[in-house]
Amino acid sequence: MMKKILMTTLLLVSACAQIMAEDADSLYAKDLLKPGTVAPDFMLRSNLGEMKTFSNYRGSYVVLEFWASWCPDCRKDMPRMKALNDAYRQKGVRLMGVSFDTDFDKWNGYITANKLYWAQVSELKKWKKETAIDTLYHVNWIPSYYVIDPEGRITLATVDLTKVEGLLARLDADGTLARSKKPEPVVVQPQFTGGNEALANYLSAHLKYPAACTKAGAAARVVCEFVVERDGSLTDVRVSKVSDFHFTNAKVSGMTKGTRAKLQEECEGRFKVEAVRVVSEMPNWTPGTQDGKPVLVKYHLPISFSL
């Protein structure tokens, strides 16, 4: 009897959750652009300082997220957005966050602290009073989400992230994502403007050796991966590998195994943060091209930390 009551309760909770999700869209998503509509193009500045043109994302499925760092519901959804990025970025799905923050430091600080490794743009103006993007996309509630297909048409408009997750899962399961992902053969690889020598000089001038790592005599090779966009900007910057880690300070060898392991973990973390920072702050690269036309390219850059 108790098991039956428990099952009934769970079904009721599930049904209520579904009704609440449907009610949320009926209340807050009714003014969003309808499926089938061509997503309006726009150009906004990212937290890294470069201008992002939305039409450059044509050819991929895109999740467009309208949010703000001061929005509790947006912050609540953010771990799930990170999970979506981790699950689908290798399958050709692109994410772009459009923020209604007005304070750059708070906006960028939230992005950095929470490691939101996808394109982030903002007008840095007051929502509904000074912004234009909300009018363009009929955003009257945040968070709001659009899923846009490779042809640039809206597939889904919702305030419920569960619906975005469900749609992407279905597109993945039925092979749509695999079919829509069309890697472009690159004839000319992207490069740091000025070439490898200029890149080496940039890293030499801007890479900051973490003080704790210097004190410990820590050294390592960190590989950063990122996407070089068609406009040469760098997005989705993250660390893919840390190798050749070692200590050059003889005093460290006298520490206990546990202490050394903890110190290594700390130093690896600091190396990762610094590698992501220095790459994220790089000026635009010369993009990769195919038949003279810029194309997206995933790039791996090894960075050596050595004393």
Which CATH number covers residue 273?
3.30.2420
Rg of the chain over CA atoms, in angstroms?
22
175 lies in the same domain as 41: yes
For residue 211, tell me if it sits in a domain. Answer: yes
Picking from 143, 144, 300, the residue whose alpha carbon sits closest to that of residue 222 is 300
242 lies in the same domain as 139: no
Picking from 175, 229, 258, the residue whose alpha carbon sits closest to that of residue 54 is 229
pLDDT at 183: 58
120 lies in the same domain as 40: yes
222 lies in the same domain as 292: yes
174 lies in the same domain as 204: no
Domain of 130?
27-180
- b/e string for 76-88 if b means 16 or more Cβ within 10 A? ebbeebbebbeeb
Q: How many helices (H) and strands (E) does the chain have?
A: 9, 12
Ranges in the chain, pLDDT < 70: 1-23, 182-187
For residue 1, tell me if it sits in a domain. Answer: no
Question: Which of 180, 206, 224 represents a domain boundary (last residue)?
Answer: 180
pLDDT at 20: 45
- Measured over the CA atoms of residue 243, residue 248, residue 253 and residue 254, the dihedral's sign is negative
Residue 242, both tokens:
């840390």
Question: Which of 129, 154, 180 represents a domain boundary (last residue)?
Answer: 180
CATH of the domain at 32: 3.40.30.10
CB-count exposure of residue 136 (10 Å: 0-12, 13-18, 19+): middle
Query: d(Cα 225, Cα 279) in Å, to the nearest integer?
Result: 9
* Pairing relationship of beta strands 94-99 and 288-290 according to DSSP bridges: unpaired
pLDDT at 185: 59
DSSP state of 19: H
All residues at 6 or more sequence positions from 177 whose CB lies less than 8 Å from its CB, including other chains:
61, 88, 91, 92, 93, 168, 171
All residues at 6 or more sequence positions from 135 whose CB lies less than 8 Å from its CB, including other chains:
none
Structural contact between residues 65 and 142, judged by C-beta atoms closer than 8 angstroms: no
For residue 12, tell me if it sits in a domain. Answer: no
60 lies in the same domain as 154: yes
204 lies in the same domain as 174: no
DSSP state of 125: S
pLDDT at 254: 86
pLDDT at 15: 38
Residue 210 preceded by cis peptide, ω within 30: no
pLDDT at 150: 95
Question: Which of 146, 180, 214 represents a domain boundary (last residue)?
Answer: 180
161 lies in the same domain as 289: no
163 lies in the same domain as 230: no
Could you tell me the pTM of the whole model?
0.61
For residue 4, tell me if it sits in a domain. Answer: no
pLDDT at 90: 86
Structural contact between residues 226 and 235, judged by C-beta atoms closer than 8 angstroms: yes
155 lies in the same domain as 44: yes
pLDDT at 250: 87
